[in-house]
Amino acid sequence: MRTEIMSKLLGIIGYPLGHSVSPAFQQAALDYCGVDARYEAWETPPEGVPQRVQWLRSPEVLGANVTVPHKEAVLPLLEGLSETARRIGAVNTIVNRAGRLEGHNTDVAGFMRALREEGGFDPQGKLVLILGAGGAAKAVAFGLAVAGVARMTIANRTVGRAQELAAAVEAVPQVRAVALTPEALTGDPPWDLIVNTTTLGMAGSPGEGESPLAEAQVPPGALVYDIVYNPKVTPLLATARRAGAHTLGGLPMLVYQGAEAFRLWTGLEAPVEVMFAAARRALWST
């Protein structure tokens, strides 16, 4: 049944966007549900973010997804924030409510659902290493802190940012911030879960083809979760498999967070299987 939403626009804001399959699976969901809207890729350099966000207030725009490197930059440009987005300090979904822009963070729900349903992993009481300290890392750390992890190490090239994130998840019994270097990542007991939130290894990025960890740094039996979804097997996941670890790619998180964003924009339940199928087709064609 066709909804009342007609001839609307949605899109994703980021820089660069050559890797994104969000337009493919979001458009498939819109078409399946009979929503007359187009989902587009709006590649936006940092200096263009204020103008792009202002344009989102247009009556024809339902909202947007926000990806690297803009998840934090959009915060002061919005009128409202969900409680989750406010606590995390990062936005990945913007909803246009008659010219008033609301920021949400669906990364937390997407990450945790994929971790539990696709990774079969219960984080309570576990030892976790998070690589990166940007907007995605904030969502990951927040979700894992609420889930009750026992120990968390946050490794980032800029240690100051890792320290800020560590301070924000002080509810974790043991949390520390270190540099993302082999020397700094010594001394911890073997991690149960390693999550990569950096862009290292992402297709089309400056770090394409790189792994943030060497094989010797990956404990056999750990779950290595790379939220990068393109390529399907990232350098880190290939490294982890050689080390005897379990692996989980970023596609489930992408689709699950996108499904929650779809619900916020349209008020409809997202056709998750349709979204997964479209995302996989888009990835396999690259």
Known catalytic residue at 71:
yes
User: Which is nearest to 72 in space by CA: 57, 85, 54?
Assistant: 85
Query: What is the layout of strands, in order, in the sheet containing 93-97?
Result: 37-43, 8-14, 61-66, 93-97, 100-104, 80-81
From CA 257, how far away is CA 251, in angstroms rounded? Answer: 10
Residue 91 burial by CB count (10 A; 0-12/13-18/19+): exposed, middle or buried?
buried
Phi/psi of residue 182, nearest 5 degrees: -60, -35
Three-state secondary-structure class, residue 222: coil
Ramachandran category for residue 105: left, alpha or beta (phi over 0 → left; psi -120 to 50 → alpha): beta
Three-state secondary-structure class, residue 15: coil
In this structure, what token pair is assigned to residue 265?
């924009």
Q: If you search the block for the tokens 């890392």, which residue do you land on?
A: 137
From CA 111, how far away is CA 131, in angstroms rounded? Answer: 15
Catalytic residue (choose from 8, 71, 126, 138): 71
Question: In this structure, what is the dihedral angle of CA atoms 218, 224, 228, 234, given to the nearest 10 degrees?
Answer: 50
Question: Catalytic site residues?
Answer: 71
